[in-house]
Amino acid sequence: MTQLTISPVTRIEGHAQVRIELDDAGEVAGAHFNVVELRGFEKFLLGAAVEEAPRITPRICGICPTSHHLAAAAACDQIFGAAPPQTGKQLRDLLLAGQFIHSHALHFFMLAAPDFLLGDAPAAERNVLGLARHSPEIAKKAIEVRKLGQRITEAVGGKPIHPSNAIPGGMSMPLSEERRQTLLTSAQDGLAIAREGWETARSLMDGLDTSFGAVETSFMGMAQNGVHALSGGEVKILGPDGRETASFTGAGYLNHIEEYSQDWSYLKFCRLAGGNAYRVGPLARLNIAESMGTPEADAALAEYRGAFGRVVQAPLAYNIARYIEFLSACERAVALLEDPGITGADIRTPVEGVAANRGVGIIEAPRGTLIHDYTVDGDGMIEKCNLIVATCQNNYAMDRGVEDVARKVIKGGELTEEGSNKIEMVIRAYDPCISCATHAIGRMPMRIEVVRRTGNGCEVLDVTEVN
């Protein structure tokens, strides 16, 4: 057999490649989405004080640190028996809206848009710099609205990259009236950009290839009374036909999700109990929700469903679903900042000590359902840790989508540059976050060294072999 390799997969977060096996006739015998990164945060967290988890886990990723910050904080709330007061919840909701604005704007305009707006341009031009030359106004507005997400993260979370203000029981710092006013103006400007950009996103629905990377799965995502939700709702599971088959909260995820590994990747896989594949993220959430809960996003959702139907399986529709969520996040940010009550001082419930030995925080991250599960001892030190991230849950669909597209574009053993990009497009549609997703399960040995810098180099203080 002959092997073709696409390395690296471009315009995604992290490092990955595609390996394609050809038979003697030059036809595709098999193909896999292959991830060779290994990050061991589930091991690093063992022995740490659980209240440190909201500060440690944002370092998993520089693109979606807020999601890990808030999922870890939600787990801590349960362990310390301290639910945040209303103002604390509002600040967390605003922080999460900022995460969605930043992440979705980044992906749609800078990672996905070059494929659609630049057509069949050469690879050297099919990128964010090429987009800036081709459509400078779109590029400028994309940077401006992404900046809004970062400003919210800095003002509410304390830092623009790795937020730290969400703590057990709520938030550590209130939002000042001056900052509320400044953020509100920026959020209104951002909403105007998002509203204008819908014209570009809407155009992607015309002629979209619904068979591209085709895979039929179930779906998982959060909703609250039928309304699209990012936190505080039930996680629902829909079958491929759109019928709800189950729902859960907290530790109930163990009754529905199974994790497993394959020997070609350090990226975990997930499936439903019983073996069925499922997907998470914007496409899944829009399949699950009856409405977005914000007027302009609801109008966009109606157009989207008019084009594709009530339950959508097409991977490329992720890009449009993502934009609808981006529009909704801008609307939610404006609504939250229009309420002067968000500057209130009642932002945290006092914590008295460990109230439960386990906490499971579940939120919706931009890429899909995110689960942080911590078990602690009586002093609150982490004894067990499990993180289930969106990219793991979409891994099967990406892997099968890669093979589907490879079979369509490779003929006679030849893979053109255009064909290579089409294979990458199906991966980009899921907006995978490799840094978030590469956590070891099964037999993946790892050596952890604790070192101290000395005048002559480094001295090894401790070595741990993890099998």
Q: What is the pLDDT of residues 309-328, one digit of tens each?
A: 999 999 999 999 999 999 99
Distance separating alpha carbons of residues 453 and 132, to the nearest angstrom: 44
Q: What is the mean pLDDT of residues 109-113?
A: 93
Here the tokens at position 83 are 């639910």
Cis peptide leading into residue 84 (ω within 30°): no
458: pLDDT strictly greater than 80: no
Separation of alpha carbons 304 and 172, rounded Å: 40
Please indicate, yes or no, if residue 24 is contained in any of the structural domains: no
Residue 248, pLDDT above cutoff 50:
yes
In a domain? residue 36: no
Q: Which two tokens stand for residue 124?
A: 């050297």
Residue that is written with structure tokens 């057999």 in the block: 1
Contact 82, 349 (CB under 8 A): yes
Q: Residue 61, annotated ligand binder? A: yes
Instruction: For residue 42, say whether it is annotated as part of any ligand binding site.
Output: yes
In this predicted structure, the answer to whether residue 80 has a pLDDT above a threshold of 90 is yes
Q: Left (φ > 0), alpha (ψ -120 to 50) or beta: where does 403 sit?
A: alpha
Q: Is 433 annotated as a binding residue?
A: yes
Number of domains making up the chain: 1
How far apart CA 440 and CA 445 sit, in angstroms, is 9
Q: What is the radius of gyration, based on Cα positions, of the chain? A: 22
Q: What angle do CA 384, 388, 393 make, to 5 degrees?
A: 155
Structure tokens at 308: 């594709």
Binned at pLDDT 50, 70 and 90, residue 35 comes out as confident
107 annotated as a binding-site residue: no
Does residue 413 lie within any of the structural domains?
Answer: no
Map tokens 């350090």 to a residue.
266
Q: Which domain holds residue 232?
A: 41-408
Residue 169, pLDDT > 90, answer yes
- Environment class of residue 220 by beta-carbon count within 10 Å: exposed (0-12), middle (13-18) or buried (19+)? buried
| 14-36 average pLDDT score | 93
> Under a CB-based contact definition with an 8 Å cutoff, are residues 12 and 427 in contact?
yes
Q: What's 112's DSSP letter?
A: I
What is d(CA 109, CA 101) in angstroms, rounded to the nearest whole number?
Answer: 12
Would 68 be classed as within a structural domain? yes
What are the pLDDT digits (tens) for 190-199? 999 999 999 9
State both tokens at 307: 């084009």
To the nearest 10 degrees (0 to 180), the angle between helices 417-429 and 395-409 is: 160
Instruction: Kindly report the average pLDDT of the chain as a whole number.
Output: 92
Query: What is the distance between the alpha carbons of residues 35 and 69, in angstroms, rounded to a whole number?
Result: 24
| Gap between the Cα atoms of 313 and 316, Å rounded | 9
Q: What is the pLDDT of residue 434?
A: 86
The average pLDDT across 133-150 equals 93
The two three-digit tokens of residue 107, written as one number: 């992906």
Helices marked H in 204-294 = 282-288
Inside any domain, residue 5: no
Residue 336 near residue 96, CB atoms below 8 Å:
no
Could you tell me if residue 86 is inside a domain? yes
Phi-psi region of 36 (alpha: psi -120 to 50; beta: other; left: phi over 0): alpha
The answer to whether 434 and 62 are in contact (CB under 8 A) is no
Q: Which of 50-59, 73-82, 126-135 has the lowest mean pLDDT?
A: 126-135
Tokens 């609205």, residue? 145
Residue 120, pLDDT above cutoff 80: no
pLDDT value at residue 463: 61
Q: Which amino acid is at 37?
A: E
DSSP conformational letter for 14:
S
Q: Which are the contacts of 350, defined by CB distance < 8 A and separation ≥ 6?
A: 82, 169
Q: Which of 230, 256, 226 is nearest to 369 (CA)?
A: 230
The two tokens of residue 191 are: 């909403």
pLDDT at residue 464, as a whole number: 55
Look-up of token digits 């925080």: 361
Q: Is residue 100 a contact partner of residue 400, using CB atoms and an 8 Å limit?
A: no
Distance separating the N- and C-terminal Cα atoms of the chain: 33
Q: Is 421 exposed, middle or buried (0-12, 13-18, 19+ CB in 10 A)?
A: buried
pLDDT tens-digit readout, 352-384: 999 999 999 999 999 999 999 999 999 999 999
Paired with 248 in beta bridges are: 235
Task: Lowest mean pLDDT of 41-50, 117-126, 196-205, 363-372, name the range.
Answer: 117-126
Q: Is 385 annotated as a binding residue?
A: no
Over range 284-292, report the average pLDDT.
Answer: 98
**Cβ(220)–Cβ(278) below 8 Å:** yes
Domain annotation covers residue 165: yes
Q: How confident is the model at residue 13 (pLDDT cuts 50, 70, 90)?
A: confident
User: Residue 57 and residue 266: Cα distance in Å, rounded?
Assistant: 19
Exposure of 372 by Cβ count < 10 A (0-12 exposed, 13-18 middle, 19+ buried)?
Answer: buried
| CATH number, domain containing residue 333 | 1.10.645.10
Q: Name which of 35-49, 270-284, 437-451 the model is least confident about.
A: 437-451
Percent of the chain residues topping a pLDDT of 90: 83
pLDDT at 449 over 70: no
Residue 424 lies in a domain: no
Please state the rounded mean pLDDT for residues 451-464: 60
Q: Is the pLDDT of residue 121 over 70?
A: yes
The answer to whether 433 touches 61, Cβ cutoff 8 Å, is yes
What are the pLDDT digits (tens) for 393-442?
999 999 999 999 999 999 999 999 999 999 999 999 999 998 777 654 33
Find how far residue 296's CA is from the centre of its chain.
23
Q: Band the pLDDT of 136: cuts 50, 70, 90.
A: very high
